[in-house]
Amino acid sequence: HPLKKIKFTNISAEESARDLGYNLKLLFLSQVATPIIHSDCSGYPLAVGQNEKIFKPLVLDVGLMNNLARVFWPSFQNKSENELLTEGVIAEQFVGQHLLYHEEGYLEPKLHYWLREGKLNNAEVDFVIEYKNKIIAVEVKSGSTGKLRSLHQWMKDTAVKNKQALRFNLSKGAYEQVNYQYKEEQLTYNLTTLPLYLIGQWKRFV
């Protein structure tokens, strides 16, 4: 499943993890897909805190992802543009494929995400990027609203001082201060929200 943490047992119970890992590596080398690797976001650069065993695949583009999932045009032809973009995985793929190439062309494309796993406190931030000496957590929502529990958790758990929160959704966009009561702690941070169609211009707003 695209943009979900890879577990070899979910792909095939018959193939060995070694063989599956090798085949995935070939897909990544061919750039048909790219691994989005978990980073604990403990400092700069993000790659220092990454765990290459924890990753989720980002497909080359939205069209290829839909084709692999056998989602074809007749499925969407009677839907409005908003309905098409609000499909959660499609929206996340759309944002991810743009963020992957946000750096200079001579640098190898690389993208991270943040994952916290536990019995009671699972949390995942869709993408994490470095820009202008800041670590930016990026959340993608499939509608004009949505809960920010994982973003709250990231802002609380991440020790770096120069960090920022960025959200993409179907709203008109806004700058706002988020106040969240986390148990005994009051969490306050600034959140930039942009509409999905501004993905190509996000650097102007952070």
10-65 pLDDT, tens digit each: 777 777 778 888 888 998 898 889 999 999 999 889 999 999 999 999 998 888 88
pTM of the model: 0.87
Report d(CA 77, CA 148) in Å as an integer.
31
Give per-residue pLDDT as tens, 103-156: 888 888 899 999 998 777 789 999 999 998 999 999 998 766 678 999 999 999
Encode pLDDT of 65-77 as tens digits: 877 777 767 766 6
Higher pLDDT, 82 or 125: 125
Average pLDDT of the segment spanning 156-163 = 90
Would you list the DSSP string of 3-71? TS---HHHH-SSS-HHHHHHHHHHHHHTTSEEEEEEE---SSSGGGGEEEEEEEEEES-HHHHHHHTT-
Is there a contact between 167 and 158 (Cβ–Cβ < 8 Å)? no
Average pLDDT over residues 181-197: 90
For residue 4, with 0-12 CB atoms within 10 Å meaning exposed, 13-18 middle and 19 or more buried, which class applies? exposed
Tokens describing residue 192: 């930039």
Judge if the upstream peptide bond of residue 195 is cis by omega within 30 degrees of 0: no
Per-residue tokens: 173: 């966009």
pLDDT at 180: 87
**pLDDT surpasses 70 at 95:** yes
Average pLDDT on 163-176 reads 94
Q: Which two tokens stand for residue 89?
A: 């995985």
Own/partner long-range contacts of 174-178 (Cβ < 8 Å, ≥24 apart): 178/148, 178/152
Q: Tell me what pLDDT residue 2 has.
A: 64
